[in-house]
Amino acid sequence: MRIKEIKSQHRRDFKAIFECEHCGATEEKGGYDDAYYHNEVIPNMECKECGKKSPKDYIPNATKYPEGYQV
């Protein structure tokens, strides 16, 4: 899965539309804007439609705020 569009964000919590790179299915859910979430959680999300995870060449998005920055 990858982030297609961030719908809203308050501090580091956000709601986004995630899209499967394999089948194109979308799903809206919440997330947390830190390096761990972008590097580990998002690439390991399974698509509800096809059951696949992100490919090995997945490039994570950067966080909105730098690591350690208090929002």
In tens digits, the chain (71 residues) has pLDDT values of: 999 999 999 999 999 999 999 999 999 999 999 999 999 999 999 999 999 999 999 999 999 988 888 88
What pTM did the predictor assign? Answer: 0.89
Q: How many residues does the chain have?
A: 71
Buried (b) or exposed (e) across 30-56, using 16+ Cβ within 10 A? ebebeeebbeeebbebebeeeeebbee
Q: Where are the domains of the chain?
A: 2-44
